[in-house]
Amino acid sequence: MISDIPRVRFAPSPTGYLHVGGLRTALYNYLFAKNIKGKFILRIEDTDRNRYVQGAVENLISTLNWAGIDYDEGPEKGGEYGPYLQSERIDIYSQYADLLIKKKKAYYCFCSSERLTKLREEQQKQNKQSMYDKHCLGLTGEEINRNLSTGLPHVIRLNVEPGKVIKFNDHIREDVEFSSNVVDDQVLIKTDKYPTYHLANVVDDHLMKITHVIRGEEWLSSTPKHVILYEALEWEIPIFAHLPLLLNADRSKLSKRQGDVAVEDYKKKGYLKEALINFVALLGWTAGDDKEYYEIDELISSFSLDRVNKSGAIFDIEKLNWLNEEHLRKKSDIELLKMLRSELQDSKFSGQEYNDEYLINVIEVMRETVSFIKEIFEKGFYFFEEPTTYEEAGVKKRWNNQSAEILKQYKTKIELITSPTREDYENALKDTALQNNTGNGNVIHPLRLAVSGVTGGPGIFDILYIIGKEKTINRIKAIIEKLN
């Protein structure tokens, strides 16, 4: 019997890094469970040993933990319905495969790979769907026993009855129908005794009392096979909800050929988990308003399968970048300080020492100009090293015959000030402009070039205050020497 408490699961295969589509599936299951006080289960479907990647399970769990998607039952946590790795449940699947054979809902198939290849090629020549022809369904009990006793390689196939209409309800797509004539006699147990996805999936969902199967649209065509299995085993069918495909801008299916698809890639690039979760949540779901910025608690309280779209969702990287900026700017200085120090360790400035006050000052003046915390080192490099070159267009436009003399006068003024404040730097600049009967801009622009090497950035007096008097003087000396 299906549980009275809503129970959902995320069941990835450990074949590599977690795909952003997988992250969305995990997130929707998580949000759904948390919204209605249900249980979220992590199950690892690792029965395809040819595609198994060492360390992938640990990476999946680590990535989910990083994203803040916490499961209630699963590997490393355990639970009432474990084990949660399918490779540790092989005997269970074998038991139900035998039951299906006894009920004549499945059968042994001893066909060689050569015969199957030939059959597939003949069907392709005739432009027919590639399907097994039920050749072994007609074997006698004596033939089956003889083949089994001699150890002839075999699989167990689902016995799909032709001429039937398979109906089921999908929470997102409503009533769905398939003709059994297009449903293949799917392999349930492979020659290596491991189950295929289809049998293991149905058995585990039943035994783990899963109430709602929320998964990607690519599994919609497999659902008729699962419905047949549920009915053959006389089990209650869970509620299905197939999520829309993720699409590139050209509406092709999201793939690595057109950009990053692994969560790990976005993590390495410096995207905030809050931004990625916010973005992924909106790939196929809306709360019904124009709101786009969400914290996780807001997503939990707002989420409903009723508002998941049927049509594919465009993966708009510009929107993700915008969300990353928004979430970055909402963080406190202390949070950003921790992130900046982490990035500092991996930067070319890792050997240098900076106190918290210095880094927080940098954060405060740079936070409105960056989308990623590591961009502080790129756009505000001059806070961490002296400029060695000067922006060519800026030099042509902002440096003239008077610039060197003006900066010398400015340098002389601040040399006389002990521990200058922002106001001191500003007053000295105004005095220098007045002394030369020129506008403040004719001091500001060459001064900005001197201390930063570029023509844009935070307020010039913020830069001067942060880097301090000594570095300001040294950089003025450097630019005069290089440009004159």
Residue by residue, DSSP assigns 222-254 as GHHHHHHHHHHTT-PPPEEEEEPPEE-TTSSBP
256 is catalytic: yes
Domains along the sequence of the chain with CATH: 1-75+244-330 (3.40.50.620), 92-189 (3.90.800.10), 331-374 (no CATH), 386-483 (1.10.10.350)
pLDDT tens digits for range 325-345: 999 999 999 999 999 999 999
Torsion over CA of 406, 412, 416 and 421, rounded to 10 degrees?
40
Closest alpha carbon to 223 in 237, 233, 244, 210: 237
Place of tokens 């059959």: 119
Would you give the end-to-end CA distance of the chain in angstroms?
86
Report the C-alpha gap between 177 and 30 in whole angstroms: 28
> According to the model, what pLDDT value does residue 52 have?
87
Which residues, at least 6 apart from 137, have a Cβ–Cβ distance to it below 8 Å?
107, 159, 185
Q: For the chain, state the CA radius of gyration.
A: 32
Q: From the DSSP assignment, how many helices (H) and strands (E) are in the chain?
A: 20, 11
Q: What type of residue is 43?
A: R
**Residue 312: HSE in the Cβ half-sphere, 13 Å Cα cutoff:** 14
484 residues of the chain, pLDDT tens digit each:
567 899 999 999 998 899 999 999 999 999 999 999 999 999 999 998 888 889 999 999 999 999 999 999 999 999 999 999 999 999 999 999 999 999 999 999 999 999 999 999 999 999 999 999 999 999 999 999 999 999 999 999 999 999 999 999 999 999 999 999 999 999 999 999 999 999 999 999 999 999 999 999 999 999 999 999 999 999 999 999 999 999 988 888 887 656 678 999 999 999 999 999 999 999 999 998 889 999 999 999 999 999 999 999 999 999 999 999 999 999 999 999 999 999 999 899 988 899 999 999 999 999 999 999 999 999 999 999 999 999 999 999 999 989 999 999 999 999 999 999 999 999 999 999 999 999 999 999 999 999 999 999 999 999 999 999 999 999 999 999 999 7
Cβ neighbours around 250 below 10 Å, total = 7
Q: Of these residues, 103, 128, 253, 256, which one is catalytic?
A: 256
Report whether 367 contacts 336 (CB < 8 A): yes
Cα–Cα distance between 195 and 189 in angstroms, integer?
4
Question: Residue 333, class by beta-carbon neighbours within 10 Å (0-12 exposed, 13-18 middle, 19+ buried)?
Answer: middle
